[in-house]
Amino acid sequence: MLDIRFVRENPDIVKENIKKKFQDSKLPLVDEVIGLDTKRRAAIVEADQLRSNRNTLSKQIGMLMGQAKKDPSKLQEAEAVKAQVKEQADRLAELEKLESELDEKVRKIMLVIPNIIDESVPIGPDDSCNMEVERFGEAVTPDFPIPYHTEIMESFGGIDLDAAGRVSGNGFYYLLGDIARLHEAVLAYGRDFMINKGFTYCIPPFMIHGNVVEGVMSQTDMDAMMYKIEGEDLYLIGTSEHSMIGRFIDQIIPSEQLPQTLTSYSPCFRKEKGAHGIEERGVYRIHQFEKQEMIVVCKPEESKDWYEKLWRYSVELFRSLDIPVRQLECCSGDLADLKVKSCDIEAWSPRQQKYFEVCSCSNLGDAQARRLRIRYKDENGKMQLCHTLNNTCVAPPRMLIAFLENNLQADGTVLIPEVLRPYMGGKDKLVPKK
């Protein structure tokens, strides 16, 4: 969310940014919110003047009432001033109500106006305009056919989608045996990988209040993603970033405690509305999964450097598991409204002979911090908003698709990279049961 003062002083910049995000329907909101803000500030000025007058008139009434003991005519003057106070009190009540209504209208519009994107972001209307930046590792296509990922899992007796469908419906799964163990091994390895980078390991709440949801994401994203608990002000989290950033709501973080670098585990729950192609079936696009996340809360001047560090951590982790990846820069139209800059890390799929998303790294500037009032005091003692960033560490089972395809051998076995073997009881490969 932008600062209303910035919008008021830079309407052309805000409008140009809206155009860059191909959201022209929001252009009228800029003039509308400036007009509402003008009325709001006028109401505040008038209300402040009336409060000042009230104090002056109250003193005058006291003085006149004291004089009335000797001069009864002063009592009539005092009553006239009291009537004036009553009239101004009624007007003050009207202004306070108006100010509250205008505050809410301004806030609702400000939640919809998108954040200012970084100047380096490529301009384009949708993800078809995202730009490949760099590849890491050789994208190999083996000389034997790669089965669909659920078929690979089934060869190890590792998945039961039919039972999950009976119990929970589409978009759920049972993982079993070595595949379930591999799932947990990847999460544990991701956890320790980030701890070794100096991050603090966290397990956050898996449900959050509505005001936290509103603080960490746009209304559009919320409606498309979040499951609400019926009858309660609680939502199931779509990613641990939501509750991890929410941890700092209304907090002033001591300057010496920044940056906060955290890696968090959680289950994630998502509606995943809409139709999806065959490649997004199985365990690719699901309603429930688990994830290890990276979160950084830092000073504004540090956020660009942290953005670079975070996506490079993803590359390092996936390459340690023998998975080729590439970095894809997200274009303006593909950025969520709160994001300043974002990139995807995509893993190579030998079966599809293309890359697919496994990590998403984002710099949100001060947007979440402004909504949640996450602040610190700078060296001059002035209150400043923090910047927030997040990135996927590992998110199985989608990450397992890349792992299984890239480590599958012609005989159906799956090699276990050396770094993962301690988490798999020392196994160096998985052997199919059928």
- pLDDT for the residue 279: 52
Of 397 and 210, more confident: 210
Instruction: Count the Cβ atoms, other than its own, within 10 Å of residue 430.
Output: 25
- 148 and 69 part of one domain: no
- pLDDT for the residue 94: 83
Where does the pLDDT of residue 75 fall: very low under 50, low under 70, confident under 90, or very high at 90 and above?
A: low
- Cα distances from 261 to residues 139, 198, 217, 239, 268, in angstroms, run 32, 8, 20, 17, 20
Total domains, the chain: 2
Contact 424, 416 (CB under 8 A): yes
Percent of the chain at pLDDT exceeding 90: 79
CATH number of the CATH domain containing 48: 1.10.287.40
Residue type, 189: Y
- pLDDT for the residue 25: 96
Where does the pLDDT of residue 285 fall: very low under 50, low under 70, confident under 90, or very high at 90 and above?
A: confident
Across 70-92, average pLDDT: 64
Where does the pLDDT of residue 225 fall: very low under 50, low under 70, confident under 90, or very high at 90 and above?
A: confident
Could you identify the residue written with the tokens 């009592």?
75
- pLDDT for the residue 222: 77
Q: Which of 110, 140, 160 is the last residue of a domain?
A: 110
The answer to whether residue 265 sits within a structural domain is yes
Q: Which of 110, 137, 165 is the last residue of a domain?
A: 110
Of 95 and 19, more confident: 19
CA distance 190 to 287: 22
Residue type, 250: D
The least confident of 15-19, 172-176, 285-289, 369-373 is 285-289
- 244 and 380 part of one domain: yes
CA distance 336 to 332: 9
- pLDDT for the residue 425: 95
- 59 and 185 part of one domain: no
Tell me the longest C-alpha to C-alpha distance in the chain: 112
Could you identify the residue written with the tokens 């710099």?
363
Across 231-252, average pLDDT: 95
Could you identify the residue written with the tokens 């919320």?
222
For residue 95, the enclosing domain spans 4-110
pLDDT score of 78 more than 70: no
Q: What does the DSSP 8-state code read for residue 10?
A: -
CA distance 338 to 1: 7
- 195 and 245 part of one domain: yes
CA distance 389 to 45: 38
Contact 106, 7 (CB under 8 A): no
- pLDDT for the residue 415: 96
Tens of pLDDT along 99-117?
Answer: 999 999 999 999 999 999 9
Q: Which of 83, 110, 137 is the last residue of a domain?
A: 110
- pLDDT for the residue 89: 76
State the average pLDDT for the chain. 90
Across 16-41, average pLDDT: 96
- 132 and 81 part of one domain: no
- 105 and 224 part of one domain: no
CA distance 331 to 317: 25
Tens of pLDDT along 177-204?
Answer: 999 999 999 999 999 999 999 999 999 9
The answer to whether residue 122 sits within a structural domain is no
Q: Which phi and psi (to 5°) does residue 64 adopt?
A: -65, -40
Q: What is the dihedral of CA 94, 96, 98, 99, to 10 degrees?
A: 160
- pLDDT for the residue 298: 98
- pLDDT for the residue 47: 86
CA-based torsion, 318, 323, 328, 330: positive or negative = negative
Q: What does the DSSP 8-state code read for residue 147?
A: P
- pLDDT for the residue 54: 66
- pLDDT for the residue 182: 96
CATH number of the CATH domain containing 284: 3.30.930.10
Single pTM value for the model: 0.88
- 34 and 136 part of one domain: no
- 391 and 251 part of one domain: yes
- 167 and 207 part of one domain: yes
Q: How far is C-alpha 156 from the chain's CA centre?
A: 36
The answer to whether residue 116 sits within a structural domain is no
- pLDDT for the residue 64: 53
* CA angle, 248 then 250 then 255, to 5°: 65
The answer to whether residue 85 sits within a structural domain is yes
- Cα distances from 387 to residues 56, 65, 103, 201, 390, in angstroms, run 45, 57, 24, 20, 11
How do beta strands 260-269 and 200-202 pair? parallel
- 357 and 302 part of one domain: yes
pLDDT score of 277 more than 70: no
- pLDDT for the residue 275: 46
Q: Is 425 left (phi over 0), alpha (psi -120 to 50) or beta?
A: left
pLDDT score of 243 more than 70: yes
DSSP output for 297-346: EE-GGGHHHHHHHHHHHHHHHHHHTT--EEEEEPPGGGS-TT-SEEEEEE
